[in-house]
Chain A
Amino acid sequence: KQEVTQIPAALSVPEGENLVLNCSFTDSAIYNLQWFRQDPGKGLTSLLLIQSSQREQTSGRLNASLDKSSGRSTLYIAASQPGDSATYLCAVVSGAGSYQLTFGKGTKLSVIP
């Protein structure tokens, strides 16, 4: 059974700092990995989707990397801003059917002005 872990559960950084969020998974046979952002009281917004054949994806100040062999993905946020404060979740698609998703519990990020 696939398990996804995100450590730390919460992170507080000063504005302007570069930071890395971690996501690890137990079964390396994944099809893709997706990073989401969730603001309080809101739904999940997709940030980046990395296919199993890719090593990284970039969108603006965000860069997500994937190392299937070690079962890890990182989300790098450059020059953090208070507006980046949110909970970040990762999810992997794996298993016999491409519909099986497993989510981590997320990392709550606070960027202090």
Chain B
Amino acid sequence: NAGVTQTPKFRVLKTGQSMTLLCAQDMNHEYMYWYRQDPGMGLRLIHYSVGEGTTAKGEVPDGYNVSRLKKQNFLLGLESAAPSQTSVYFCASKDLARAGELFFGEGSRLTVL
């Protein structure tokens, strides 16, 4: 049981380049989330999904796009990377039960030069 898997774990981009972070979960969870974590800022929600084919904006969605074409996958895209997007990105998932426990991936460290 792999839980929540993020790829890639590390990436360096130049300003203006694009990339996609992949999150995969094998727990049949309905809810999936993308967060970024920056020093002193805590975890900030970028986008989330409450089910296959649905996405919604979180606290800091600008500059990011997401897709949930399959229930087990949640993709985070950066169309034109900026240095301000240098961060550690975390994916998480939980089932739709109110009592559901939240599970995190190990993070993806992105540096934009």
Contact = CB atoms under 8 A, between A and B. Distances in A.
A89 to B, nearest CB: 8
Contacts of A97: 50
Given A99-B48, A99-B50, A101-B33, A42 B107 contact: yes
A99 B99 contact: no
A106 B42 contact: yes
Contacts of A98: 96-98, 100
Contacts of A34: 101-102
A63 interface: no
B90 A43 contact: yes
Interface residues of B, number: 23
Nearest to B101: A49
Given A42-B106, A42-B107, A106-B42, A99 B101 contact: no
B106 A43 contact: yes
A97 B42 CA distance: 22
A43 B105 contact: yes
Nearest to B51: A99
A32 B31 contact: no
A76 interface: no
Interface of A: 31-32, 34, 36, 42-46, 49, 51, 89, 91, 93, 97-99, 101, 103-106
